[in-house]
Amino acid sequence: ALVADPLRSGLRPASTSSSPSASTSTSASAEPSREPSASATPSPGRTRTTSAAARPAQPGKTPARPAAPPTAPAAAPGGTPAAQVLALTNTERAEAGCGPVTFDDRLARAAQLHSEDMSANDYFSHTGQNGSSFVDRAKAQGHPSPGAENIARGQGSAASVMEAWMNSPGHRANILNCSLKTLGVGVVTSDWTWTQVFGY
């Protein structure tokens, strides 16, 4: 398993340059056609994170400060790592002036299945081994409008994976996209493979 302190992981913005290292941080986005494109920047450390987004016709704006306190979101089951990621995601969104995302069972199933597939088959990608995108996987679980996906491996707690994602521009942008309204989280704790899938 790859486990590292996210403060020392050196996550940097995605670009097309490369240099040798033990981990990668990639960012992918989908235009309205939802066809992904990707770029990668290797960075020091032993953790990996990537993000992907499907952009709406009019992307949400992230205000500097909230106009009013957000309402309480629906909770993920129990005090699980997934529930902790949901709570930490909503804390970050509230600080940025976004409303909370609510837990969505369909997105959680898509996220968990993708984490399990990556872990069991020892790969790390937004594209499933069957060629599926996060959009395909979420729709297969019945969610009509998936919006973004973050993945990570090697962070051994909800706090550490959220810190890594918030220190990476592509992941941060997904988390703080005020247009996104729902969230599902999947994690495999044997190697700490995380998937966060957002919906509109």
The reply to whether 43 falls in a domain is no
Whether the CB-CB separation of 85 and 194 falls below 8 Å is answered with yes
pTM of the model: 0.68
The reply to whether 94 falls in a domain is yes
Q: What is the CATH number of the domain that holds 200?
A: 3.40.33.10
The reply to whether 123 falls in a domain is yes
Whether the CB-CB separation of 28 and 50 falls below 8 Å is answered with yes
Name the domain count of the chain. 1
Q: Per-residue confidence of the chain (200 residues) as pLDDT tens digits?
A: 223 333 333 333 332 222 222 232 333 333 333 333 222 222 334 445 556 665 443 444 443 433 333 334 444 556 999 999 999 999 999 999 999 999 999 999 999 999 999 999 999 999 999 999 999 999 999 999 999 999 999 999 999 999 999 999 999 999 999 999 999 999 999 999 999 999 99
The reply to whether 170 falls in a domain is yes
Rg (CA), the chain: 15
The reply to whether 140 falls in a domain is yes
The reply to whether 132 falls in a domain is yes
The 8-class DSSP code of residue 157 comes to S
The reply to whether 158 falls in a domain is yes
The reply to whether 26 falls in a domain is no
Full domain range(s) for residue 138: 75-200
Supply 163's token pair: 């810190």
Q: Tally the residues of the chain.
A: 200
